Structure 1
Amino acid sequence: MLDGETLKALYEKHCKHGFKYSYGTAGFRYKADILDTVMFTTGVLAGLRSLHLSGQTVGVMITASHNPPEDNGVKIVEPRGEMLEQSWEKHATQLANCASESYASFATNLEELVKTLKIDTNRSGGIAVARDSRESGPRLLEAFEAGVQAFPTLRIRDYGILTTPQLHFLTSKTNEFPQNVEKDEKLYYNEFLSAWDEITTISGIEALPFELKIDAANGIGGPKISAMLSQRQVFKNAYEVSNADWQNYAALNYCCGADFVKTNQKLPHGIAVGETFNARRINCSFDGDADRIVFYYNDPQGQFKLLDGDKMATLFAKFFQQLLRSSGLQKDVEMGVVQTAYANGSSANYLEQVLGVSVKCTSTGVKHLHHEAVKFDIGIYFEANGHGTVVFSSKFVELLNSKLATDSQSSPESYNSLKLLSVFTRLINQTVGDALSDMLAVLAVLLVLQWTPQKWDEEYTDLPNRLIKVVVPDRTLFKTTNAERQLESPANLQQEIDALVSKYDNARSFVRASGTEDAVRVYAEAASREQADELAAMVGKLVENC
């Protein structure tokens, strides 16, 4: 570790005093102008994490995802591409807040962490870092790298501007592959495009029967999806990327992107569905760092129809259930879907009552969903906002490999189902929700099933719902229980919400503090659009008056 004087000089250059930080559902996320201190301490903590894990490479992503351009944030990625071990979140928060007090407090806390965690600071280790396209990124990267310098034995691989899922993927591959394999974007594209190629070969698909429109939220997902799809002839002249002005900092997520479409339930700027019904037209929106995706289309009456994370979860559940049955594995494989309180009530009913699939509910945040999903052989998790993925257990992959090796003489349908299951374990980015990978997976499912977007949507009908954001002086006052479906505080607010809900048909509503913004989110659903909108507005008023 650096000597005290050198470390103090770095601290004084990058750290400011007087702000209290908290590691949230997606790391630290605030206005960019108050992030220098936490970027510096995150560099220190990421170094500690790598050294604690015997020198494995730890990932760090500088991003604020769907937040407005003036925000930014940072999160630490585990060696296998997963979110930071939850027990370390308190270390990240404490180190940042000590640094916000004084150098003496920071230095003391750092020394105690090294001692308590029994970290050998002379060990070598690695950090993989990337950032999204925000204007504040280069400055915050400099503060982060200064923090990493606390441990001279650490090497840093700066990937520049990437999507968040690309950073997760490359962190995982850095620890998985031998040193002579180059870990870069080419590896990422090859991984998922080669799986796509196998699916099209197995299914006899020669052309994309969709007119695909992609809203890239003016984020880095725009050039990355173009770089990916341009490598395959099947996509030539079959897709168009809108809102791809990623170098216009002020345009990021402005009136576009997955969060805008989901929250407002309307088209983003830059995409016009058109007045004429087109059964083969499908649209999708990424968010600013391309870890979320939602789909949408226009129905025969020209109405906007949203296909969100719930619709994706149910699509994958039905598809994999069919493949398990046709391959004869349905009795050997446990599949489940993990949702949050934001999941539409109709989706849970469809999964449990129509498909007979197990459904679990967790707190908001993919770290919570991922933890539950890995308990299944096939664990499907998507937040309603479009952030999610599918994870496959090692037991399931071994079973597939064994069956493929011994069942080559079985029926063509059964064998093809086994092959498709195997390929989907590689088409889907299992480390984290990935707009690019999820988009390919959804398209592949629709192609294999020969479904139109309308057929997909008609599997079940969403209850009308509304999600609104209410700015409050102190979001920490809003504490929840029962997987965030009920409030513990402020006192009596839950009873007031329950009284409002009882006045509407087939209704429910809940309130929770945002994990990424200084606001409280209010969700409501009811039997009609008018009732859902009215209930959300009235609950929002209760929150404002707290």
Structure 2
Amino acid sequence: MGKYFGTDGFRGEANISLTVEHAFKIGRFLGWYYGRAHKGTDHKCRVAIGKDTRRSSYMFEDALSAGLTASGADVYLLHVTTTPSVAYVVRTEEDFDCGIMISASHNPYYDNGIKILNGRGEKLEESVIQEIERYLDGEMPEAPLAHREQIGCTTDYSAGRNRYIGYLITLATRSFKGKRIGLDCSNGSAFSIAKSVFDALGAKTYVINNEPDGTNINRDCGSTHIEVLQEYVKEHQLDVGFAYDGDADRCIAVDEQGNVVNGDLILYVCGKYMKEKGWLANDTVVTTVMSNFGLYKAFDAAGISYEKTAVGDKYVYENMQQNGHRLGGEQSGHIIFSKYASTGDGILTSLKVMEVLLETKQPLSKLCEDVHVYPQVLKNVRVDSKPEAQNDPDVQAEIRKVANLLGDNGRILVRESGTEPLIRVMVEAPTHEECEKYVDQVIAVLEYKGHVNK
């Protein structure tokens, strides 16, 4: 990870750690890099920009657009839309050089972020990110300004978002008629897309948290507050529910009984179905180190192989591309179907789960019952310095001690957040009490050594 960009873009509190000056300079660099510097003096760089519902997203949209057009790029505004829709537009239209999504995903409204996608709709290459960071730090000359007819312009491109909605609708294998489906749009990007898709497919759609006001994105709603949808599904006796995060690249489901179906369970349900249909390339699913022991045991029983990557859908996708795998994802709900998308896509994931329900004629609770999830406790610790806390010899010694105590009956994982100043401490063990005990032991050492920012 760099100084500014983590595993999912440049993220921070708006106008504090992520400013309009940063956005303007990123726009200046990208317009120059993908224009005259990268493809020759006559190339007109084209960039698609989407944003979520945060109040600050409009500010960053303007700053990025100003920087891009000043460097000679033409900008196509998708307005409020999802991250996967930006990836789709860039990927399916040959003349886009890159795409930008303005979002801090599941973070609170006062944070924001800049995610950059390459011309294939994939997370930007690390080599280009390093060049952007050098430019932000003044280690490169200022990009030349465009003049006269070379100056770029902005264009309303809501048609691109509408094309994406049409694409999603075409992916459904059956009508959803007669199905009672709940959607929690997290007062975020999904509000402009999800209901339209499910309504068009004939579902009886029940939508909550679909009235963004600029400050209520992710607030007590969406995939990070799944208990809201759980209660809603039970209260209204729905067949299934789907919750998204701020930019809708995640999906967490709720079965008809109100139980949470997280990313691990979605990978199992879809992976088993795809294997039975002969569609699971290499009979392999790509996971991250955060996936549960129970998932791997269920995969073993189903004859499904698996790979483990570092946390981040970026790394999952890289592994899928390198090895030709078709399904991968994270426990947090980033699920990638590489035949259909180049990023995690919450709404697409909902449609693929619905496909399994409709084709197998089984409720989601039944489809998940072969996965016996190990108790898991994950606690986030805010620290002054992630590297110093992570690499402290006493902290590492305590981690090794816990690992030895767990043996083959569990595991401990301590890692730095890629997007926030946090150390994440996770333990899986036979009982919840053991998980709590061992997580707290590691946190106690972090506190004793003075790493915790209270």
**TM-score by structure 1 length?**
0.66
Shift of 1:513: 1.3
1:367 aligned residue: 314
Counterpart contact for 1:504–1:531, Cα < 8 Å: no
5 Å matches for 1:382-397? 382-392=329-339
1:255 aligns with 2:220: yes
2:128 corresponds to:
88
Aligned to 1:530: 433
In 2 relative to 1, CA 495–206 (structure 1 residues): closer, same or farther, beyond 3 Å?
Answer: closer
2:263 corresponds to 1:315: no
Asked if 1:110 corresponds to 2:141, the answer is: yes
**Partner residue in 1 for 2:246:** 288
Cα deviation, residue 152, structure 1: 4.0
- Is 1:337–1:358's contact at 8 Å kept on the other side of the alignment? yes
SS at match of 1:253: coil
Q: Give, in angstroms, the shift of residue 293 of structure 1.
A: 0.7
The 1:207–1:272 alpha-carbon spacing in structure 2 relative to 1, beyond 3 Å, is closer
Q: Which residue number in structure 2 is paired with residue 27 of structure 1? A: 9
Pair 1:214-2:176 in alignment? no
Q: Tell me if the contact between 1:47 and 1:151 (Cα under 8 Å) persists in the aligned partners.
A: no
Counterpart amino acid of residue 268 in structure 1 = V
Assess if the C-alpha contact under 8 Å between 1:282 and 1:296 holds in 2: yes
Q: Partner of 2:379: helix, strand, or coil?
A: strand
Superposed CA offset, 1:139-179 (max 9, x none): xxxxxxxx99999454544557xxxxxxxxxxxxxxxxxxx
Deviation at 1:307, TM superposition (A): 1.0
Where do 1:459-498 residues align within 5 Å?
A: 459-478=370-389, 489-498=391-400
CA distance change for structure 1 residues 344 and 48 in 2, over 3 Å: closer, same or farther? farther
- Cα drift, residue 110 of structure 1: 3.3
Determine if contact 2:269/2:368 at 8 Å carries over to the other structure.
Answer: no
Superposed, 1:185-264 pairs within 5 Å as 185-196=161-172, 199-200=173-174, 207-209=177-179, 211-232=180-201, 234-235=202-203, 238-247=204-213, 249-261=214-226
CA offset digits 1:292-346 (Å, max 9, x no partner): 11012364xxxx532111111112211111111xxxx88xx52421111111111
Distance apart, 1:390 and its partner CA: 1.4
Deviation, structure 1 residue 224: 1.8
- 1:290 maps to a residue whose letter is A
Other-structure match for 2:63: none
Contact 2:263 2:333 (8 Å CA) reproduced: yes
Deviations 1:121-147 (A, max 9, x none): 7xxxxxxxxxxxxxxxxxxxxxxxxx9
Instruction: Name the CA distance, whole Å, in 2 between partners of 1:31 and 1:508.
Output: 34
Structure 2 runs not aligned, ≥5 long: 46-94, 450-454
**What is the letter of the counterpart of residue 344 of structure 1?**
N
* Amino acid paired to 1:78: N
Q: Conserved in 2, the CA contact under 8 Å of 1:47 and 1:154?
A: no
TM-score, normalised to structure 2's length?
A: 0.78
Contact between 2:316 and 2:328, CA under 8 Å: does it hold in 1? yes
What secondary structure, in the 3-state scheme, does the structure 1 residue paired with 2:220 have?
Answer: coil
Partner of 2:25: 41
1:275–1:68 distance in 2 versus 1, CA, 3 Å: closer
* 1:458 aligned residue: 369
Deviation at 1:60, TM superposition (A): 0.9
Quick one: distance in 2 between partners of 1:377 and 1:358? 13
* CA distance in 2: counterparts of 1:500 and 1:323, whole angstroms: 42
Shift of the 70–306 alpha-carbon distance from structure 1 to 2, 3 Å rule, reads same
Q: Secondary structure at the match of 2:15?
A: helix
Superposed displacement of residue 496, structure 1:
0.5
SS in 1 for 2:338: strand
The change in CA–CA distance for 1:207 and 1:228 in structure 2 (over 3 A counts) is closer
| Aligned partners of 2:287 and 2:330 also within 8 Å | yes
Deviates more, 1:533-542 or 1:151-160: 151-160
Measured on the aligned residues, the alpha-carbon RMSD in Å equals: 2.8
Cα contact 2:230–2:260 (8 A) shared by 1: no
What is the match of residue 409 of structure 1?
Answer: none
User: Are 1:297 and 2:246 counterparts?
Assistant: no
Paired AA for residue 276 in structure 2: Q
Give the % identical residues.
25
Shift, 1:228, TM fit? 2.3
Q: Which amino acid aligns with 1:246?
A: P
Q: Which residue of 1 aligns with 2:113?
A: 73
Measured in 2, the distance between the counterparts of 1:365 and 1:206 equals 32
The answer as to whether partners of 2:184 and 2:208 remain within 8 angstroms in 1 is: yes
Distance in 1 between residues matched to 2:446 and 2:290, nearest whole Å: 18
The total of aligned residue pairs comes to 389
How far apart are residue 289 of structure 1 and its match? 1.1
The DSSP-based 3-state class of the residue aligned with 1:251 is coil
Q: Any conservation in 2 of the 1:215–1:270 contact (CA below 8 Å)?
A: no
1:60-110 Cα shifts (integer Å, max 9, x gaps): 111101001110110211111111012111112222222xxxxxx5xxx03
Distance in 2, Cα, partners of 1:154 & 1:23: 26
Distance 1:536 1:283, change over 3 A: farther
The offset of 1:59, in angstroms, is 0.6
**Segment drifting more, 464-473 vs 371-380:** 371-380
